Structure 1
Amino acid sequence: MADPSSYRPAPGQIPDSPGVYRFRDEHRRVIYVGKAKSLRQRLANYFQDLAGLHPRTATMVTTAASVEWTVVSTEVEALQLEYSWIKEYDPRFNVKYRDDKSYPSLAVTMNEEYPRVQVMRGPKKKGVRYFGPYGHAWAIRETVDLMLRVFPVRTCSAGVFKRSAQIGRPCLLGYIGKCSAPCVGRVTPEEHRELAEDFCDFMAGRTGAYLSRLEKQMHDAAEEMEYEKAARLRDDIGALRRAMEKNALVFTDATDADLIAVAEDELEAAVQIFHVRGGRVRGQRGWVTDKVEAVDTAGLVEHALQQLYGEESGEAVPKEVLVPALPEDAPALGEWLAGRRGSNVSLRIPQRGDKKALMETVHRNAQQSLALHKTKRASDLTTRSRALEEISEALGLDGAPLRIECFDISHLQGDDVVASMVVFEDGLARKSEYRRFQIKSFEGQDDVRSMHEVVSRRFRRYLQEKLKTGEWSPEDGDEGENPGENPLAEDDGRPRRFAYPPQLVVVDGGQPQVAAAKRALDELGIDDVAVCGLAKRLEEVWLPGEDDPVVLPRTSEGLYLLQRVRDEAHRFAIQYQRNKRGKRLKAGPLDEVPGLGESRRQALVKHFGSVKKLRQATIDQICEVPGIGRKTAETVAAALARSVPAGPAVNTATGEIIEDETPPPRVGAPPGGSRGTSSERGTEQ
Structure 2
Amino acid sequence: MADPSSYRPKPGQIPDSPGVYRFRDEHGRVIYVGKAKSLRQRLSSYFQDLAGLHTRTRTMVTTAASVEWTVVSTEVEALQLEYTWIKEYDPRFNVKYRDDKSYPSLAVTMGEEFPRVQVMRGPKKKGVRYFGPYAHAWAIRETVDLMLRVFPVRTCSAGVFKRSAQIGRPCLLGYIGKCSAPCVGRVSAEEHRELAEEFCDFMAGRTGAYLRRLEQQMHEAAEEMEYEKAARLRDDMEALRRALEKNAVVLADATDADLIAVAEDELEAAVQIFHVRGGRVRGQRGWVTDKVENVDTAGLVEHALQQLYGEERGDAVPKEVLVPALPEPVEPVAQWLGERRGSRVDLRIPQRGDKKDLMATVQRNAQQALVLHKTKRASDLTTRSRALEEIAEALELDSAPLRIECFDISHLQGQDVVASMVVFEDGLARKSEYRRFQIKSFEGQDDVRSMHEVIGRRFRRYLQEKQKAGEWSEENAVEEENGRAADVRAGDAFAGEARTEDGRPKRFAYPPQLVVVDGGQPQVAAARKALDELGIEDVAVCGLAKRLEEVWLPGEDDPVVLPRTSEGLYLLQRVRDEAHRFAIAYQRSKRTRTLRAGPLDEVPGLGETRKKALLKHFGSVKRLRAATVEQICETPGIGRKTAETIAAALAAAAPPAPAVNTATGEIMEEAGE
Partner of 2:11: 11
Corresponding residue SS for 2:111: coil
Contact preservation (8 Å) 2:499, 2:506: no
Corresponding residue SS for 1:289: strand
Change (3 A) 1:488 1:216: farther
Distance 2:529 2:613 in 1: 36
Partner of 2:282: 282
2:82 partner amino acid? E
Quote how far apart the aligned CAs of 1:560 are.
Answer: 0.8
Distance 2:506 2:112 in 1: 74
Quote how far apart the aligned CAs of 1:667 are.
Answer: 4.6
Structure 1 residues 247-286: Cα deviation after superposition (integer angstroms, max 9, x where no partner): 1211112211111111111111111111111111111111
Distance 1:674 1:296 in 2: 33
The Cα RMSD (Å) is 2.6
Corresponding residue SS for 2:610: coil
Corresponding residue SS for 1:350: coil
Distance 1:489 1:138 in 2: 63
Quote how far apart the aligned CAs of 1:491 are.
Answer: 5.5
Distance 1:673 1:226 in 2: 77
Q: How does 1:87-166 map to 2 (within 5 A)?
A: 87-99=87-99, 102-166=102-166
Q: Does 1:531 find its partner at 2:541?
A: yes
Q: Which deviates the most, 315-324 or 558-567?
A: 315-324
Contact preservation (8 Å) 1:466, 1:472: no
Corresponding residue SS for 1:106: strand
Partner of 2:74: 74
Partner of 2:189: 189
Q: Which deviates the most, 463-472 or 663-672?
A: 663-672
Structure 1 residues 28-49: Cα deviation after superposition (integer angstroms, max 9, x where no partner): 2211111111111111111111
587, 590, 615: which one aligns with 2:597:
587
Partner of 1:232: 232
Q: Which residues of structure 1 form unaligned runs of 5+?
A: 593-642, 649-662, 677-684
Partner of 2:57: 57
Contact preservation (8 Å) 2:249, 2:280: yes
Change (3 A) 1:488 1:204: farther
Change (3 A) 1:143 1:291: same
1:646 partner amino acid? P
Change (3 A) 1:113 1:520: same
Q: Does 1:646 find its partner at 2:590?
A: no
Q: Which residues of structure 2 form unaligned runs of 5+?
A: 621-672
Distance 2:72 2:420 in 1: 55
Structure 1 residues 10-58: Cα deviation after superposition (integer angstroms, max 9, x where no partner): 1111111111111112222211111111111111111111111111111
Distance 2:302 2:71 in 1: 21
Corresponding residue SS for 2:471: coil
Structure 1 residues 407-445: Cα deviation after superposition (integer angstroms, max 9, x where no partner): 111112222221111111111111111111112343542
1:2 partner amino acid? A
2:7 partner amino acid? Y
1:333 partner amino acid? V
Q: How does 1:315-330 map to 2 (within 5 A)?
A: 315-330=315-330
Partner of 1:407: 407
Quote how far apart the aligned CAs of 1:575 are.
Answer: 1.3
Contact preservation (8 Å) 1:405, 1:421: yes
Tell me the TM-score normalized by structure 2: 0.85
Distance 2:112 2:476 in 1: 78
2:42 partner amino acid? R
Quote how far apart the aligned CAs of 1:581 are.
Answer: 1.5
Partner of 2:568: 558
Partner of 1:546: 556
Corresponding residue SS for 2:408: strand
Partner of 2:349: 349
Partner of 2:273: 273
Contact preservation (8 Å) 2:497, 2:506: no
Distance 1:253 1:140 in 2: 25
Q: Does 1:175 find its partner at 2:175?
A: yes
Contact preservation (8 Å) 1:418, 1:437: yes
Corresponding residue SS for 2:581: helix
Distance 1:397 1:481 in 2: 40
Contact preservation (8 Å) 1:105, 1:119: yes
Quote how far apart the aligned CAs of 1:490 are.
Answer: 4.9
Quote how far apart the aligned CAs of 1:236 are.
Answer: 2.5
Contact preservation (8 Å) 2:100, 2:288: no
2:75 partner amino acid? E
Distance 1:485 1:35 in 2: 72
Partner of 1:29: 29
Q: Does 1:471 find its partner at 2:429?
A: no
Change (3 A) 1:127 1:36: same
Quote how far apart the aligned CAs of 1:480 are.
Answer: 9.6
495, 503, 509: which one aligns with 2:513:
503
Corresponding residue SS for 1:260: strand
Q: How does 1:205-354 map to 2 (within 5 A)?
A: 205-222=205-222, 226-354=226-354
Quote how far apart the aligned CAs of 1:234 are.
Answer: 3.4
Corresponding residue SS for 1:27: coil
Quote how far apart the aligned CAs of 1:95 are.
Answer: 1.4
Distance 2:449 2:349 in 1: 43
Sequence identity percentage: 84
Partner of 1:449: 449
Distance 1:344 1:87 in 2: 26
Change (3 A) 1:674 1:151: farther
Contact preservation (8 Å) 1:288, 1:370: yes
Distance 2:477 2:528 in 1: 29
Quote how far apart the aligned CAs of 1:392 are.
Answer: 0.9
Contact preservation (8 Å) 2:205, 2:278: yes
Partner of 1:666: 610
Aligned length: 609
Structure 1 residues 83-122: Cα deviation after superposition (integer angstroms, max 9, x where no partner): 1111111111111222468322111122222221111222
Distance 2:326 2:26 in 1: 36
Change (3 A) 1:354 1:667: farther
1:24 partner amino acid? R
Structure 1 residues 282-314: Cα deviation after superposition (integer angstroms, max 9, x where no partner): 111111111111111111111111111111233
Structure 1 residues 222-248: Cα deviation after superposition (integer angstroms, max 9, x where no partner): 555555444433333332222112212
2:29 partner amino acid? R
Quote how far apart the aligned CAs of 1:394 are.
Answer: 0.9
Partner of 2:656: none
Quote how far apart the aligned CAs of 1:665 are.
Answer: 6.1
Contact preservation (8 Å) 2:268, 2:291: yes
Distance 1:153 1:479 in 2: 86
Structure 1 residues 637-660: Cα deviation after superposition (integer angstroms, max 9, x where no partner): xxxxxx956148xxxxxxxxxxxx
